[in-house]
Amino acid sequence: MIPRLLLTGAAGGLGKALRPRLKGDCHILRLSDLVPLDPPAAHEECMQVDLGDADAVMKMVEGCEAIVHLGGISVEAPWSHILKANIDGLVHLYEAARIHKVRRVVFASSNHVMGFHRQDQVVDALTPPRPDGFYGLSKAFGEDLSRLYFDRYGIETACVRIGSSYPEPKDRRMLATWLSYDDLHRLVVACLTTPVLGHTIIYGTSDNAVSWYDNRLAHHVGYRPQDSADVYRDAVYARTKDPDLTDPTTLYQGGAFVKIGPLSES
Ligand code: NAI
Ligand code: 15L
């Protein structure tokens, strides 16, 4: 049991999924987000914090032993937004972690760090990043920043390159990238509790038959997915059209992200 665990981005899709699931993993769950949160239960604390505000982030982190960092911009967006939440925000978070002696962080990275690798390629933790936009680039920065704080200060981080975490896979691509909410929780708990985490990059998907990710370099985390996108396969195929195999959104792992956002504007 972690004495006090901080969950950022607690008002978001994954924050709402993890909030009830983390109840048994810590004595106190400190929840934070830019937007208001549902009122705290007996074991919870709520703080409304902008990650771009260094002083507020410093107070948010004080007293916490570990952090699950989900907060920030979660899709492709103008650079100024990403800069504030995902770049400045992450520097504020790790500086606060250093000052307040946080031992371990689970950082919600993304498959979009690797989005310009092809879907006929299997990538692992040593494969060079190929971000598919400003958003993926900001997650690559977060991975490097967390490595710096591990090398200099010993703060352990799991950079979880989450695939697509939703109640069900929404399209054919997500049959490879899907991560169930229960597996997300299993993965976060494995990252928080494995004896020696170090600085680790791990892909966050369920046990899907089709996969572009090799997690052998993160075996020490002990993550064992128990769900699979495969049970949704027939239904997903029935409701979706055959893809155009010449379209970059079909060819590349990042899917639609390789074409959307400010970088697409002329
Ligand atoms: P979300 O967009 O639903 O939640 C993100 C939360 O961060 C929101 O509640 C938002 O208010 C908060 N936030 C945004 N800017 C902020 C700021 N400046 N200060 C404080 N809080 C701020 O995203 P979701 O789906 O819950 O994802 C959570 C994390 O996981 C994100 O970091 C995302 O990049 C990452 N991720 C999610 C995937 C998914 O399939 N849901 C896939 C890959 C990565
Ligand atoms: C992500 O990084 C996004 O946060 C999420 O909204 C999904 O689009 C996911 O990747 C994905 O690739 O499906």
pLDDT digits (tens, 9 = 90+) for 43-90: 999 999 999 999 999 999 999 999 999 999 999 999 999 999 999 999
Pocket test for ligand 2, best of 14, 70, 75 (most atoms within 8 A of CB): 75
- DSSP lists the bridge partners of residue 8 as 32, 69
Angstrom distance (rounded) from CA 25 to CA 2: 6
> Residue-wise pLDDT tens for the chain (266 aa)?
999 999 999 999 999 999 999 999 999 999 999 999 999 999 999 999 999 999 999 999 999 999 999 999 999 999 999 999 999 999 999 999 999 999 999 999 999 999 999 999 999 999 999 999 999 999 999 999 999 999 999 999 999 999 999 999 999 999 999 999 999 999 999 999 999 999 999 999 999 999 999 999 999 999 999 999 999 999 999 999 999 999 999 999 999 999 988 988 76
> What is the per-residue pLDDT across 155-180, written as a single tens digit (0 to 9) for each?
999 999 999 999 999 999 999 999 99
Our answer on whether the CB atom of 164 is closer than 6 Å to any ligand 1 atom is yes
Instruction: Give me the long-range contacts of 213-219 (CB less than 8 A, separation at least 24).
Output: 213/111, 213/122, 213/123, 213/124, 213/161, 213/163, 214/122, 214/123, 214/124, 215/124, 216/124, 217/124, 217/125, 217/126, 218/125
Instruction: Tell me how far CA of residue 26 lies from CA of 12, 21, 44, 62, in angstroms.
Output: 20, 11, 10, 16
Our answer on whether the CB atom of 14 is closer than 6 Å to any ligand 1 atom is yes
What is the residue with the minimal CA distance to atom 25 of ligand 1? 13
Percentage of the chain exceeding pLDDT 90: 97
Q: Based on the number of CB atoms within 10 Å of its own CB, is 174 exposed (0-12), middle (13-18) or buried (19 or more)?
A: buried
What is the residue with the minimal CA distance to atom 13 of ligand 2? 164
**Residues with Cβ within 8 Å of residue 152, at least 6 apart in sequence:** none
Spot the catalytic one: 135, 149, 181, 213. Answer: 135
Atom of ligand 1 nearest to the CA of 160: 44
For domain 2-258, the CATH superfamily is: NAD(P)-binding Rossmann-like Domain (3.40.50.720)
What is the residue with the minimal CA distance to atom 32 of ligand 1? 70
Spatial CA neighbour of 72 closest among 47, 43, 52, 57: 52
Atom of ligand 1 nearest to the CA of 15: 26
Our answer on whether the CB atom of 10 is closer than 6 Å to any ligand 1 atom is no
Give residue ranges with CB within 6 A of ligand 2. Answer: 74-75, 110-112, 164, 177, 255
- CA 74 to ligand 2 centroid distance, Å: 7
**Residues with Cβ within 8 Å of residue 263, at least 6 apart in sequence:** 76, 133, 134
Q: Where are the domains of the chain?
A: 2-258
Atom of ligand 2 nearest to the CA of 110: 2
End-to-end C-alpha distance for the chain, whole angstroms: 52
Residue 223 annotated as catalytic:
no
Angstrom distance (rounded) from CA 118 to CA 218: 22
Whether residue 135 contacts residue 76, with contact meaning beta carbons closer than 8 Å, is answered with: yes
